[in-house]
Every structure is written in C-alpha cells, then in structure tokens.
Amino acid sequence: MIVEKNLYFRYTGIRVRNLKRALHFYKRTMEMRESLRGKMEHGGIWVELKSAGSAQRLELNYYPPRSKFFEKFRIGSELDHLAFWVKDVEKQYERLLANGARRAVAPFSDHRYRFAFVRDPDGIWIELIGRDKRQIKNGEKAQATS
C-alpha cells in the first residue's frame, strides 16, 4: 500500500457538552494551553490545546443544537474524530471510500479550508483537511487585478 507523503496525523478531536467546563479541566487539571480557537460556519466552536513539549494536539469541539454536526450526547461519542492533513481533500476522500471507508460528510469548504469526513470500520470519524485550492486561486486572481 502506497501512502502519500503529505498525509499525516494532525490531532484528535473530542466532542464536549460544555466547552467552558472542558476548557477548565484540560487547562487546569491537564496543564494544557490553548493554541488555536475558531468558530465554524454552522455555529460550532473548536479549541485546540497542546501540552508543553508535545507535538500532539487535542481539539475540543462544541456543537450547539442548531449545528449540522449536533448529536444527542451518548456514551461513546466523546471521541469526535481523527484528523489528517492532505494535499487534495477530494482525491483522498475518493481513495478512502474505494478502500473501505464509509461516507460521513462529502467534501465542503469552510473559510480557507476544504474538509471531508469518512468513518472507519468501527464508525470512528476521520477528518480530511487541506487548503481550499479554489480560494487560493481566487485570492491570487483578486490580488493580481488589484
């Protein structure tokens, strides 16, 4: 099996019911610090945390009831997804589906990035994330005409 050099494990995302409580726990109890934070177009909030001396990241994901990713919380859904950075989201999405992954969410854009989600054989979500090449091209055109 050939694996592209540009496919690498990025972080683990977990679903949280109460973002404030989760941040308190991971920052104070687990001594992690916030490295990035963002709001998703559908209303969700993500916060990336890291520990001193570690390259690994933990992403806390909060999805309000109006979010397309909201699920009633149940034991077992705390592990939200595993994320892999890829050069071409669509190409990797199709490759994974052809090799046994199950569809979860077809490729879509959110800000400067392309995303897609598949499920592994046990139902664990796997996120594919990469730069939105269409926005890069449009941005380059806009800058060239300015």
Quote the CA–CA distance of 121 and 102 in Å, as a whole number: 8
Tokens of 55: 């390259």
Domain boundaries, the chain: 8-145
| The pLDDT of residue 77 | 60
Digit-by-digit pLDDT tens for the chain (146 residues) are 555 567 788 899 988 888 999 998 899 888 899 999 999 988 899 999 999 988 889 999 999 988 888 887 766 666 778 888 889 999 999 988 998 899 999 999 998 999 999 988 767 788 999 999 877 665 554 443 33
Quote the CA–CA distance of 75 and 72 in Å, as a whole number: 10
Quote the CA–CA distance of 107 and 96 in Å, as a whole number: 13
Give the architecture (CATH level 2) of 8-145: Roll (3.10)
